Amino acid sequence: MKFFLAQLNPIVGDLEGNAKKILCVAEKAHSNYADMVLTPELSLWGYPAKDLLLKKNLVESQYSILDKLSLSINKKYGDLSITVGIAERIDDSFFPNLYNSIVLIERGEWKTIARKIILPTYEVFDEKRYFRSEERVSVISKKIKNKTFKLGITICEDLWVNENIEGRGIHKKNPISDLKSKKIDLLLNLSASPYTFKKFKLRNKIASFAAKYLKVPVIYVNQVGANDDLIFDGNSFIINKNGSKIKQLKSFSEDASCWCIDEKLNLVDENKSSEISSVFDALVLGVKDYAKKCGFKSALIGLSGGIDSALVSVIATAALGSENVFCVSMPSKWNSEHSKIDAKDLVERLNIRLNTISIENIMSSFENSFLESLNFNTQGITNQNIQSRIRGTLLMALANQEKHLLLSTGNKSELAVGYCTLYGDMNGGLSVIGDLYKTNVFKLCNWLDSEDSIERRKAYKLETKVKIIGDPIRNKAPSAELGPDQLDTDSLPPYSLLDKILKGIIEEKKDLRLLEQDGHRKEQILKIIALIKKAEFKRKQAPPILKLSSQSLGNDWRVPIAIFN
């Protein structure tokens, strides 16, 4: 039996367009003599469809789209079978009234063959808002050339049932355990599993456990592409019954491949990528797809000469091409000469455009207006925020005028403690590195300037003959340059210390006692906790943050603003 793994990048809500994409895949599968095409979870809708699933007209229209798709496939490609992920309507008076389902298209018709059992509600997931859980595992029989195969079908989370690996505790239902008595020949898992740090290894472990437990091969097909803040890495794979990977599709790219169940299941070499290169690939895809799916062709970046805006400029250039990236330098009287030079040198290495708008006169105008009209002398943080908001206003004006996507350049450390200005440097349509701590920004930039990144730079048509970020940018002390000789450490602990405490609080959910056991001083912990609480109202107004970690400060950070101190 020959399977065709189709790792697709759908557009959320574009049911007609996604159906056409599936039809194109059918053509490739047919030319490869495949028997069955496997597409990801909710492949007709794109994942996550969120409240689009509540639109009755969309739910209704999917059925006519499925009918047309079934007839087209049968007319063009005969007996080819295709799995498609849909939102199946339940005809009763209860809510939610949908199943997260898989249908099988064959012989000009379609039928439901699997429904999702375990509905995740952690991190960004909120599936119980839309779907009802199925009670029974799904097994279908497929006859090919006088041989009948029994296929167990699971949908994404249904595979994640080993608490020792995935760490979220015991589920009330265990589809993998329930499949044990079904004597299946093969386990399929159709997923829309977003990328986070170390997700590759976790998926492999989970699938390997299932393969060894059931003593059957596992085919795992994952969605690829970025939808809003989520990045789907693809990395679909096949594992043999001994738990060894025998094939893997591309990372962060649409891909498709044929595989025969009867061929010898030996371990083959894979193209391995490092964790740090995967982070870069994820961010590039995140920017590329966000721009494309939201209708932007170009990006605008406020370039300060610092490391954060430098990294975002590199990512944007890799994602959109140097001809579509525009930068603006907005120096004030506090900006150092070396920062201006560093910004100029960077754009030359990236071959992107840079315009300079001095804000000294605008700052003076603001200061004079307050003084003359209100007898109010702006000082300290008020003056610093005005400076940032002037820049933010200029950037938004240029973005509006030229129809650029304005990219926010703040990192996770700054966003966590509120070391950022609402309606200033937080302006933008997308926060590119908002889930990267400052120390990880440095790590990623060090990798970009190393020989280890040469192949990735070549792939993205970036400069390879010299360091792309540059030593001056990577080695300077972090500073927002909001005052004379101002440094980030004037307001914050060193990032090497701050980020450890932040990670303990945000990702690891540690309380004061556990953080003290890690060796951190009580007064410093309390200060950082207070800063996190104080900045909550800012984060609620931040642009979407590309998610990289198990706990970003975006949609999966659901902390109230007004809370007991």
User: With bands split at pLDDT 50, 70 and 90, how would you rate the model's confidence at 169?
Assistant: low
Question: Does pLDDT of 65 surpass 90?
Answer: yes
**Average pLDDT rounded to a whole number, residues 487-491:** 82
| Residue of 116, 288, 503, 538 with catalytic role | 116
pLDDT attached to residue 95: 92
- Give the C-alpha distances (Å, rounded to integers) separating 522 from 333, 481, 490, 516: 38, 30, 20, 6
Please tell me whether the overall predicted TM-score, pTM, comes out greater than 0.85 for this model: yes
Give the DSSP H/E element, type plus range, for residue 247.
Answer: strand 245-248
Q: Identify any residues that bridge with 245 across adjacent strands, giving them in sequence order.
A: 239
Q: What is the 3-state secondary structure (H, E, C) of 383-411?
A: HHHHHHHHHHHHHHHHHHHHCCEEEECCC
Q: Where are the domains of the chain?
A: 2-262, 279-481+535-539, 493-534
The predicted-structure confidence for 544-560, as pLDDT tens digits, reads as follows 999 999 999 999 999 99
Q: For residues 275 and 501, which has the higher predicted lDDT (pLDDT)? A: 501
pLDDT at 479: 80
Task: Note the pLDDT of residue 261.
Answer: 65
Superfamily of domain 2-262: Carbon-nitrogen hydrolase (3.60.110.10)
Supply the DSSP symbol for 453: G
pLDDT at 560: 93
User: Cα–Cα distances in Å, from 186 out to 261, 283, 559?
Assistant: 8, 34, 42
Q: Which of 106, 123, 156, 245 is catalytic?
A: 156
Does 489 score more than 50 pLDDT? yes
- pLDDT(221) > 80: yes
**What's the confidence (pLDDT) of residue 263?**
45
Q: How confident is the model at residue 70 (pLDDT cuts 50, 70, 90)?
A: very high
Q: Respond yes or no: is residue 41 known to be catalytic.
A: yes
pLDDT at residue 564, as a whole number: 76
Where does 279-481+535-539 sit in CATH, by number?
3.40.50.620
pLDDT reading at 486 higher than 80: no
116 noted as active-site residue: yes
pLDDT digits (tens, 9 = 90+) for 123-150: 899 999 999 999 999 999 988 878 899 9
- Is 156 among the catalytic positions? yes
The token pair at 196 is 């986070």
pLDDT category of residue 42 using cuts at 50, 70 and 90: very high
> What percentage of the chain exceeds 70 in pLDDT?
96
Percentage above 90 pLDDT, the chain = 81
| The predicted structure's pLDDT at residue 403 | 96
What pLDDT does residue 565 have?
66
